[in-house]
Structure 1
């Protein structure tokens, strides 16, 4: 059997101590095969965003373990952790997190700059990603001058520029109108199908969640339902 790309075992996450102690996750376990699209679903405060941050190695569990293709992520430290995160993951957030007055291209190639990729190769790969998202003509524009949909496509280009194996999308259509949001959804699921990129979508939108292969429901820090879509 193939090793899951992510394996989560009895993961807990606690914040604070004493009377202010709060247990955000209370023992979550599941495996994710490579190439699957997974919706992490739950109400605000359920623990779904905490879970995503742990899966993306942006934070560490208080207990339990997360394995990335068989490697216990607790063994990743410092520059090794940063390299793994930069090389393996792409991120698409609701708030965009673009540098407003920098060019679209400069925003897109930031992960390559962090990875130490040379200037010419950064530009080549950045333009290729923008071309894929039909934004090449906006490369020199300032990010602040883009529409909401264009900003989200620029964010997806940035997520793709390092050829990630996993994309984490946190409420990726939350700031978009329904038509633009549907276009962004189509792009993400197209990447999942056509490139085999594992896709995690954190959402409270049931329609968006229904497009995923699998839905993991989090409530009060617990995994309360794990359902796989039935092929039509």
Structure 2
């Protein structure tokens, strides 16, 4: 068993109070090993997106504990929280969240700029990330002029630029045709296998989920299934 990189212990998340209270997560517990690929599955409103936001330190549990490596994340506040999130995670979303009139390189290096990395080093690491995605020739292009598949590859390059330990992918192929989506999937799973990056995918796509090492199924805020399996060829 690989070393645990994230562990959730009896994680609850509630919104509102009294009669308006909604329990989005109801005592979810599991651990994720370093280098695993995980699919989080569930219908709309099941709590899967809430769970991803908590795992990615974009939100905090109402009760319970989330551990990142050896760190109890309840101890992370302010700048330390932001720095930990920026250095540890990369994000790939269905909506690309690119700055349309900025260059591809500027979009990719945005996390480095937020982290205070100097311009020469930002450029070096940005180009290196684009080369991994075979997009170095598009570095000066405006993001608005790219195809959907190219935009998603830019998003993956942006996710990689800080050398993250974990990539979170929220419906990463949802806006792509099946052929382009398959290419993006292959890139993500290649990064997982070849570089040991832990991959956590939130998806409705059963075929995509079947490629992961494990599937966590969420229903009405509860973990109802945790299935380990071999990676599909």
Residue in 1 aligned with 2:37?
Answer: 37
How far is the alpha carbon of 1:70 from its aligned partner?
1.8
How far is the alpha carbon of 1:29 from its aligned partner?
0.2
Unaligned runs of 5+ in 1: none
Residue in 1 aligned with 2:59?
Answer: 59
CA distance in 1 between partners of 2:32 and 2:90 (Å):
17
Q: Is the 8 A contact 2:211 2:231 kept in 1?
A: no
CA distance in 1 between partners of 2:52 and 2:212 (Å):
16
Residue in 1 aligned with 2:104?
Answer: 104
Task: Map 1:1-232; keep pairs closer than 5 Å.
Answer: 3-230=3-230
SS at match of 2:4: coil
How far is the alpha carbon of 1:107 from its aligned partner?
0.4
Q: Is the 8 A contact 1:11 1:64 kept in 2?
A: yes
RMSD (Å) for aligned C-alpha atoms: 1.1
Q: Deviations over 1:158-213 (max 9, x none)?
A: 00000000000000000000000000000000000000000000001100000000
Q: What TM-score results when the alignment is normalised by the length of structure 2?
A: 0.98
Distance 1:231 1:137, change over 3 A: closer
CA distance in 2 between partners of 1:216 and 1:209 (Å):
9
How far is the alpha carbon of 1:5 from its aligned partner?
0.3
How far is the alpha carbon of 1:230 from its aligned partner?
3.8
Q: What TM-score results when the alignment is normalised by the length of structure 1?
A: 0.98
Unaligned runs of 5+ in 2: none
Q: Is the 8 A contact 1:9 1:30 kept in 2?
A: yes
How far is the alpha carbon of 1:64 from its aligned partner?
0.2
Q: Is the 8 A contact 1:3 1:70 kept in 2?
A: no
Which aligned runs of 4 or more in structure 1 are off by greater than 2 angstroms?
A: none
